[in-house]
A and B are shown apart, each in its own frame.
Chain A
Amino acid sequence: QQQVKQSPQSLIVQKGGISIINCAYENTAFDYFPWYQQFPGKGPALLIAIRPDVSEKKEGRFTISFNKSAKQFSLHIMDSQPGDSATYFCAASGSNYQLIWGAGTKLIIKP
């Protein structure tokens, strides 16, 4: 019940295209769903996060879509740019402040 399953493991998108990464969770007590972005040689950094009281959150080119009934959430990157090439992690947590992490998606944006 603690797992967060992330797909795909790797993704190649052309510049200007839409990148989509999906995550699924099992624990219905989770109430916070962040996405982190990690560049090589750096620690992960918060990109965008959502709570289950809304179905979508948008920040610039990045959008989280959240489906509570399906227990799924996804990250959409519009107009993907080479600078978006990084590893992306989804995560989930409940009231104990412990993040449960997906396995990560390595995104490559081809110029």
Chain B
Amino acid sequence: DADVTQTPRNRITKTGKRIMLECSQTKGHDRMYWYRQDPGLGLRLIYYSFDVKDINKGEISDGYSVSRQAQAKFSLSLESAIPNQTALYFCATAGKGLEGTDTQYFGPGTRLTVL
């Protein structure tokens, strides 16, 4: 089983709809992140959480909200989706490990299309 899972993997929705993307991890990591990926722009940080009670805005948080329901679960919501939120969304986790404290482990991504 994958260490970081994301649901759904693909979603098509309409402008104005509320959407929730979910992320679960079995790595036991404290730190979790939500990114969006757009062609030519790399990965941009939306929100990050260092533990259940510590949630922080990233570079592009406008139009998004998050919830850290447990150490293992971090969900991303689009309250009222708009077409320019069409993108590939990734969840990542990070924690102490043999590779060092900064290695981020990514889920498989959710492809979101807003019509």
Which A residues are within 8 Å of any B CB, using their own CB? 6, 9, 32, 34, 41-46, 49, 89, 93, 97-99, 101-104
**B102 touching A97, Cβ below 8 Å:** yes
Of all chain A residues, which has the CB nearest B91?
A: A43
B43, A89: Cβ atoms under 8 Å? yes
Instruction: Please report the C-alpha to C-alpha distance between residue A90 and residue B51 in the assembled complex, in whole angstroms.
Output: 26
Contact between B41 and A97, CB atoms less than 8 A apart: no
B31 and A97 form a contact (CB under 8 A): yes
Interface residues of chain B: helix, strand, loop or mixed (majority): strand
- Interface contact A103-B103, CB-CB below 8 Å: no
Which residue numbers of B lie inside 8 Å of A, CB to CB? 4, 31, 40-45, 48, 50, 58, 90, 92, 94, 99-109
Q: Are A9 and B40 in contact (CB under 8 A)?
A: yes
Q: When chains A and B are docked, how far (Å) is the Cα of A72 from the Cα of B91?
A: 28
User: Given A43-B90, A43-B92, A46-B103, are A103 and B42 also a contact pair (CB < 8 Å)?
Assistant: yes
Question: How many angstroms between the C-alpha atoms of A84 and B49 in the bound complex?
Answer: 33
Contacts of B104 in A (CB 8 A): 46, 99
Given A42-B108, A43-B106, do A49 and B43 touch, yes or no (CB 8 Å)?
no
B8 to chain A, nearest CB (A): 15
- Chain A residues whose C-beta falls within 8 Å of the C-beta of B90 in the assembled complex: 43-44
In contact, A43 and B103 (Cβ under 8 angstroms): no
CA distance A102 to B50 in the complex (A): 23
Q: Are B101 and A97 in contact (CB under 8 A)?
A: yes
How distant is B58 from chain A, measured CB to nearest CB, in Å?
8
CB-defined contacts of B108 to chain A, threshold 8 Å: 41-43
- Can you list the 9 inter-chain pairs with the closest CB atoms, starting with the nearest? A43-B106, A101-B42, A103-B42, A101-B43, A32-B102, A104-B42, A46-B103, A44-B106, A43-B90
